Amino acid sequence: MIAYMKRNYKIIIPIIVLVGLLFGFQVVNKPDPEKDKILIGLIRYALTKGHYEPHQINDEFSENVFDEFIDALDPYKRFFLQSDIDEFSQYKLLIDDQLKNENLTFYNFVYKRFKERVTQSKQYYKTVLASPFNFNQKGTFSIDYELKTFAKSKAELMKTWQLQLKVSTLTRLHEKIELQNKFSSKKDEPKNANQYKTVSGEVKEVVDEKENIEIEQLSELKTIAQLEEASREATEKSLDELYAIMNELDETDWFSVYINTITMQFDPHTSYLAPKDKKRFDISMAGKLEGIGARLQKKGDYTTVAELISGGPAWRAGELEVGDVILKVAQADEPPLDIVGMRLDDAIEFIKGKKGTEVKLTLKKIDGSIEVISIIRDIVELEETFAKSSIVEFNDKKYGIINLPKFYIDFNERNFRNSATDMEDQIEHLKKENVEGLLIDLRNNGGGSLKTAIEIAGLFIKDGPIVQVKYRGEKPNVRSDKNKKIQWNGSLVILVNELSASASEIFAAAMQDYNRAVIVGSKQSFGKGTVQNVLPLNNYYKYSKDLGALKMTIQKYYRINGGSTQLEGVKSDIAMPDRYTYLKIFERDEKNPLEWDKIEPAEYIPTNSYENFHNVVNESKKRIASNPQFMLIDKNAKWLKKGRDDNIVNLNYNEYKKELNKRLEESKEFDLIKEYKNNLVFISPEYELSLIEKDSILRQKRNIWHKNLGKDVYVEEALNVLSQLKMNKNLLVKN
């Protein structure tokens, strides 16, 4: 797609998001008005009675649902006309009344018109793509769709389609021209040559086998006109495929979109799960996946990488990153399928697959560059979400590093391992190695079990409050560690980033409030201070059909100092810049997040663990401020933010190419970030060495982890901090 294009897309629901789709329509399952009315009644009742912070269902609520539903269906304003919106507006202040009476008039009216407009749209793109685009003309196109208005006529709507399709075709044309230039450079070289000349004349090694294959498939050089025609054909083909795939959507999918425009008014984590999505949710909670090992989310037309599963195929390959946009998917050597605009369910079906099969992904990286990567699918075992540890020598002393990817627990098997028991075991192993300090890595840990977060915090203090949990209208419940045993009473540093959330924030906040650990990492963590519960709706209403489930925010949690982690997260004692610093990826950037507030603190006594805490923090801040690597990372973060904020696409090919080349040239400055090495050696603890001897896969996983640690400037600085901390001999704990 478009290089360095950006838009603040909204996640309508976490699993199925059907927005801005280009497709024809055919209902597979017949509408079920009775079921729809039951769903509306059940969800309205649950939200108003059980949500932590219920909204009044009034005219303001009605207006918001109206706007969100229209935007969910047509965010790029390429289906509806302004006259449609004017017609829909008769219901703008009536939706609240309709919801209270299980009346679906507004939904049915808009849904019917939408189907008509989508059917008509197929002719629009066919007509536009029948004629060549003139890429010599001057002109630009803004992709900030929130500022655009709906077309006033079909002629104006056709113009919208023309501009959007011109952008799509321009991107494909540039790819084809660049590929042909590489082919042209290679054509006269020896058959087995492994080099090619770039457009600028620079000689590079050909390392991508897929690129070699694509270049060789160009049997002859083509004119610009021929390449332009091929680009239009590719654009049309991708839309044809999209229409065919989306033709299978049923009424349940669309009604889910409507319900979720209602639930999202309460907070971004409250959503309706249709029956098939509830099943997927249950499977994901079981912790065993088959595919590439990445969690995906829908942002507008785009399938985006939300999380990499530690130890999974994508994580091991090291090329896929959080924030990458997946543009195309190819099965081994088959032609790639364009998934832009495809609903998340269908995109996932193409991406996942059986163990041992190959999938090739065309990505738009967060710096705007386009890359093709290959991943061999595998079983992603829960084992790789378990805590693991490593040992490193730093300044002639041994330190332990524990990586905790999530706060896991199996509620169905009481005696099964969980993150708290595993953490205790890892600490015990490291103590036997005589380590002098612990670094706990919570980066990218999105949370999990509150129970294990409390128990893990208890490993580092004698006993006392860990977190306060509050239901709506009730006094907070102080959750405490009651086990007087201290598993580790030495120096402790906790490493976090912007993606450390929920239970990670509970643990880090408790350690910070007790002055038990130094928190280092991003300026603040994610900022999710809410708790959700999944309610199977058939448990509350006896009905012959599966009604799905409601995932609803029912609690808010607070630090023992009384402050909420909601929005503000946990602020690091020592902040380090990273590439996400200036991007909008926090809880506060979501739609309708709950507000920050404060309650009375719990009764607790800080441990006053370190006699030189402030000196160590200040020295670290000075090192970070003068460290060339951190300065380069911060510069890169600002550069990424600037690129994401650039909403203008040049429609003149030469200008478009010039901008891409400029961006590519600028990016070379940041290559040094990936090349960084801290020259530290990381090894597995002794208990694991015998396991590694027998398990080549485990050995490979640990080698990859240790290699990544060896390039990690954040771990290096965290170890600097850890090595300088001096424990207070008069350690105070609550008796």
Instruction: Concatenate the DSSP letters of all residues of 690-712 into one string.
Output: HHHHH-HHHHHHHHHHHHHHTT-
Cα separation, 16 vs 257, in Å, equals 8
Q: What tokens were used for 88?
A: 């829909």
- Same-domain check for residues 181 and 328: no
Contacting residues for 136 by C-beta, under 8 A, at least 6 apart: 652, 653, 654
pLDDT at 349: 83
pLDDT value at residue 341: 78
Tell me the C-alpha distance between 165 and 442, whole Å: 43
Do 670 and 600 fall within a single domain? yes
Determine the pLDDT at residue 384: 65
Does residue 152 fall inside a structural domain? no
Question: Which pLDDT does position 492 carry in this prediction?
Answer: 98
Q: Are residues 366 and 398 both part of a single domain?
A: no
Q: Report the alpha-carbon distance of residue 482 to residue 4 in Å, rounded.
A: 52
pLDDT score for 306: 86
The answer to whether residues 254 and 18 touch, using CB atoms and an 8 Å cutoff, is yes
Cβ atoms within 10 Å of 49's Cβ, excluding its own: 9
Task: List CB contacts of 565: < 8 A, sequence separation 6 or more.
Answer: 505, 506, 509, 525, 527, 528, 529, 557, 558, 559
Q: What residues make up the domain containing 660?
A: 383-724
In a domain, residue 244? The reply is: no
Evaluate whether residue 623 is within a structural domain: yes
- Judge if 189 and 320 occupy the same domain: no
H-helix segments, 648-695: 653-667, 671-675, 686-694
Residue 243 in domain: no
The low-confidence residues of the chain, meaning pLDDT below 70, are: 1-31, 185-221, 244-249, 279-289, 300, 310-311, 381-384, 411-415, 730-735
Taking Cα atoms as reference points, which of 509, 518, 670, 525 lies closest to residue 602? 509
**Torsion angle, alpha carbons of 610, 615, 617, 618, to 10:** 170
Mark whether 368 and 228 lie in a shared domain: no
**Number of domains comprising the chain:** 4
Model's pTM, two decimal places?
A: 0.77
Q: Which of 358, 380, 402 is the last residue of a domain?
A: 380
- pLDDT score for 571: 98
Cβ count near 192 (within 10 Å): 5
Give a yes or no: residue 442 inside a domain.
yes
Encoding tokens for residue 81?
A: 């006309």
What string of DSSP letters covers 578-618? Answer: -TTTTSS-SGGGSSSPPPP-B-PPP-------BTTHHHHHH
Q: In terms of Cα–Cα distance, which of 186, 195, 175 is closest to 215?
A: 186
pLDDT at 389: 97
Residue 367 in any domain: the answer is: yes
Residue whose token pair is 């079990």: 449
Residues 310 and 431 placed together within one structural domain of the fold: no
DSSP strand E in 429-563: where?
437-441, 464-471, 477-481, 491-496, 518-521, 530-536, 549-558
Domain check: are 368 and 397 in the same one?
no
Do both 444 and 482 map to the same domain?
yes
CATH at 344 = 2.30.42.10
Q: Looking at the chain, how many residues does it have?
A: 735
Question: 366, 404 in Cβ contact below 8 A?
Answer: no
Residues 376 and 396 in one domain: no
Are 519 and 541 part of one and the same domain?
A: yes
Instruction: Give residue 246's pLDDT.
Output: 65
- As given in the structure block, the two tokens for residue 101 are 């009476």
**What token pair was written down for 517?**
């650990």
Are 475 and 351 part of one and the same domain? no
DSSP 134-202: -TTS--EEE--GGG---BSSHHHHHHHHHHHHHHHHHHHHHHHHHHHHHHHHHHTS-TT--EEE-TTS-
- Residue 20 and residue 302: Cα distance in Å, rounded? 10
The pLDDT assigned to 209 comes to 43
Question: Comparing C-alpha atoms, which of 153, 156, 175, 164 is closest to residue 125?
Answer: 164
Output Rg (C-alpha) for the chain, integer angstroms: 27
Tell me whether residue 160 is in a domain.
no
Given this model, what pLDDT does residue 189 score? 55
| Closest to 450 measured CA to CA, from 500, 511, 409, 493 | 409
Please check whether residue 126 lies inside any domain of the structure. Answer: yes
Q: Which residues is 378 bridged to in the sheet?
A: 291
- Per-residue tokens: 368: 């705007």
- Rounded CA-CA distance 688/390 in Å is 10
CB 145 within 8 A of CB 7: yes
Whole-angstrom distance, CA of residue 242 vs CA of residue 456: 48
| CATH label of the domain that carries residue 391 | 3.90.226.10
Secondary structure of residue 249 in the 3-state scheme = coil
Domain final residue, candidates 317, 350, 380: 380
**Same domain membership, residue 692 and residue 660:** yes
SS3 label, residue 225: helix
Contact predicate 608/515, CB 8 Å = yes
